[in-house]
Amino acid sequence: MKLWGGRFKKAENKLMEDFNSSLSFDRTLYYEDIQGSIAHVKMLTKCGILTEEECEAIKGGLNSILSDIENETLLIEGDYEDIHSFVETNLIQRIGQVGKKLHTARSRNDQVAVDLRLYAKKKAFEVVENIETLQSVMKTLGEENNCLMPGYTHLQRAQVVTFKHHIMAYYNMLHRDKKRVLNAIEILNESPLGCCALAGTTYNTDRAFTASELGFKKPVDNFLDGVSDRDYVIELLSCFSIMMMHLSRLSEELILWSTKEFDFIQIDDEFSTGSSIMPQKKNPDAAELIRGKTGRVYGALMSLLTTMKGIPLAYNKDMQEDKEQFFNALDTVLSCLKVMSGMLSTLKIKKENTFNAVKKGFLNATEAADYLVNKGMPFRDAHKVIGEIVLYCEEKDKAIEDISLGELKNFSELFAEDVYEFIDYKNTLDRGIKKELK
Ligand code: ARG
């Protein structure tokens, strides 16, 4: 069941056959492989290389293979070298000799290149759709929880923010992720079909025709590059790695916030798990798995960058190593986006606890310094005065707003009654550019 063999005297060693076979994973490309072949035979017919009858017979055979695969009467298995051999061998079995004409003016090198580009484009759009769903979940969650919470630097309470502003930070990261993926799609949107093995063909084929049949903007400009380019896989993996880094940071925050120590959120039972020994445990496994799976997406990127770095032009079998990592990364990012959407759409924010945390962290200290600056004190001096007040408050276990005007005046005569309104947490968010926090 090989597409080659004429120049061989001995059969392939079984070990080599298994080592070389990619069917177990490139079976994923069956749809794109058949679509690519249909566009190819249409082009061969348009260019007078095949007759109308031959074209109809081949198209009919390919479509019957497609529907049999989809209704599972034809299983993609057996000792075929790859999905291309599988489809072509089955075609010849179904329609006879004319099936042998399908591969005219084509190589598996441009065939696999076009299959993978089509698949990458389709799945990248699916990623974009799932990013958009997650973004809309975040927006709703933020709008429903426009409550005060501490903002952190160095994981130390710093200034007041709103939960909405915090979650919208991730919305913005995802917006860039989406733009990166769309940009990668735009760059990959050229057809390598017709480059053949590496140097084109002596037939008068029409690469622009197959490009437009398959929904590409245009054919690639260079044959050698067309068959040996896997930049688009690397670029998508790089977009996915950045996106997973974002999802992982959010996961880390969800894990922290769901601890008793923070107690800012409750992850729904639907997205939590228990312990087999400790009956009280409810663990944030969904978030931990997203954080953990980030590693395998980074791994896929590093793996393919390394595979490609020493390959001379044009196609080399090393490149078969692109698929498993890429398919796995795609499955991973799609499931992480879906699980994150599910977890956030059922998340409860404990608004009372986030507000209590705001009250305990001197989160209005910067605003208190701004108050003194408004009264004429240079900022560096105001910073020092408020620092001293914070120390005083810590000793008394009080917040700045809890100490009397008389006490405040011991630190600076500039304090007056209006300070309390100025440093009120809600009021601080209403002033100046901070309005954007709400
Ligand atoms: N399974 C191969 C791959 O994934 C298909 C291309 C094979 N081309 C070749 N000249 N052997 O890269």
How many CB atoms sit inside 10 A of residue 9's CB?
4
111 lines ligand 1 (CB under 6 A): no
Q: Which residue has the higher pLDDT, 237 or 435?
A: 237
Mutate to test the pocket of ligand 1, among 32, 82, 323 (most ligand atoms within 8 A of CB): 82
Residue with CA at minimum distance from ligand 1 atom 7: 108
108 lines ligand 1 (CB under 6 A): yes
Looking at residues 337-363, what average pLDDT do you find?
Answer: 96
Distance 67 CA to ligand 1 centre (A): 25
41 lines ligand 1 (CB under 6 A): no
383 lies in which domain range? 362-437
Q: Which atom of ligand 1 is nearest to the CA of 197?
A: 10
- Residue 38 shares a structural domain with residue 114: no
Distance 109 CA to ligand 1 centre (A): 6
- Residue 117 shares a structural domain with residue 247: yes
Instruction: With respect to residue 76, please indicate whether it lies within any of the assigned structural domains.
Output: yes
Question: How many C-alpha atoms does 384 have within 13 Å on its Cβ side?
Answer: 5
Mutate to test the pocket of ligand 1, among 18, 112, 233 (most ligand atoms within 8 A of CB): 112
Whether the per-residue pLDDT at 255 is higher than 90: the answer is yes
- The structural domain count of the chain equals 3
- Residue 347 shares a structural domain with residue 275: yes
- Residue 250 shares a structural domain with residue 149: yes
CA pair distance 310, 308, nearest whole angstrom: 6
Query: Which pLDDT score is estimated for 281?
Result: 81
319 lines ligand 1 (CB under 6 A): yes
Burial of 351 (0-12, 13-18, 19+ CB in 10 A): middle
CA pair distance 76, 78, nearest whole angstrom: 7
Which of 326, 355, 384 lies at the terminal end of a domain, its last residue?
355
Structure tokens at 179: 């733009």
Instruction: With respect to residue 4, please indicate whether it lies within any of the assigned structural domains.
Output: no
CATH of the domain at 386: 1.10.40.30
Instruction: With respect to residue 2, please indicate whether it lies within any of the assigned structural domains.
Output: no
Q: Which atom of ligand 1 is nearest to the CA of 317?
A: 12
- Alpha carbon distances (Å) from 147 to 153, 257, 351, 359: 19, 15, 6, 13
- Residue 169 shares a structural domain with residue 224: yes
How many CB atoms sit inside 10 A of residue 268's CB?
14
pTM of the model: 0.94
What residues are labeled active site? 154, 275
227 lines ligand 1 (CB under 6 A): no
Instruction: With respect to residue 419, please indicate whether it lies within any of the assigned structural domains.
Output: yes
- Residue 216 shares a structural domain with residue 345: yes
- Residue 135 shares a structural domain with residue 261: yes
Which of 71, 101, 131 lies at the terminal end of a domain, its last residue?
101
Whether the per-residue pLDDT at 276 is higher than 90: the answer is no
CATH of the domain at 64: 1.10.275.10
Residue with CA at minimum distance from ligand 1 atom 4: 320
Distance 110 CA to ligand 1 centre (A): 9
CA pair distance 269, 140, nearest whole angstrom: 20
Residues 6+ positions from 324 with CB-CB distance below 8 Å: 25
Distance 328 CA to ligand 1 centre (A): 19
Whether the per-residue pLDDT at 310 is higher than 70: the answer is yes
- Residue 215 shares a structural domain with residue 199: yes
Instruction: With respect to residue 196, please indicate whether it lies within any of the assigned structural domains.
Output: yes
Whether the per-residue pLDDT at 417 is higher than 70: the answer is yes
Instruction: With respect to residue 336, please indicate whether it lies within any of the assigned structural domains.
Output: yes
pLDDT above 70 covers a percentage of the chain that reads 100
Whether the per-residue pLDDT at 4 is higher than 80: the answer is no
- Residue 306 shares a structural domain with residue 431: no
284 contacts 264 by C-beta, under 8 angstroms:
no
pLDDT above 90 covers a percentage of the chain that reads 91
The answer to whether the bond into 113 is cis (omega within 30° of 0) is no
CATH of the domain at 155: 1.20.200.10
Mutate to test the pocket of ligand 1, among 106, 320, 323, 325 (most ligand atoms within 8 A of CB): 320
Instruction: With respect to residue 9, please indicate whether it lies within any of the assigned structural domains.
Output: no
- Residue 186 shares a structural domain with residue 309: yes
Looking at residues 34-43, what average pLDDT do you find?
Answer: 98
CA pair distance 389, 383, nearest whole angstrom: 10
- Residue 292 shares a structural domain with residue 202: yes
The separation between CA 148 and the C-alpha centre of its own chain, rounded to angstroms, equals 30
- Residue 207 shares a structural domain with residue 272: yes
Mind spelling out the 3-state secondary structure of the chain? CCCCCCCCCCCCCHHHHHHHCCHHHHHHHHHHHHHHHHHHHHHHHHCCCCCHHHHHHHHHHHHHHHHHHHCCCCCCCCCCCCHHHHHHHHHHHHHHHHHHHCCCCCCHHHHHHHHHHHHHHHHHHHHHHHHHHHHHHHHHHHHHCCCEEEEEECCEEEEEEEHHHHHHHHHHHHHHHHHHHHHHHHHHCEECCCCCCCCCCCCCCCHHHHHHHCCCCEECCCHHHHHHCCHHHHHHHHHHHHHHHHHHHHHHHHHHHCCCCCCCEECCHHHCECCCCCCCCCECHHHHHHHHHHHHHHHHHHHHHHHHCCCCCCCCHHHHHHHHHHHHHHHHHHHHHHHHHHHHHCCEECHHHHHHHHHHCCCCHHHHHHHHHHCCCCHHHHHHHHHHHHHHHHHHCCCHHHCCHHHHHHHCCCCCCCHHHHCCHHHHHHCHHHHHHC
Strand 218-219 and strand 190-191: the pairing is: parallel
Which of 101, 127, 146 lies at the terminal end of a domain, its last residue?
101
Query: Which pLDDT score is estimated for 1?
Result: 63
The separation between CA 287 and the C-alpha centre of its own chain, rounded to angstroms, equals 15
Instruction: With respect to residue 42, please indicate whether it lies within any of the assigned structural domains.
Output: yes
Looking at residues 3-32, what average pLDDT do you find?
Answer: 92
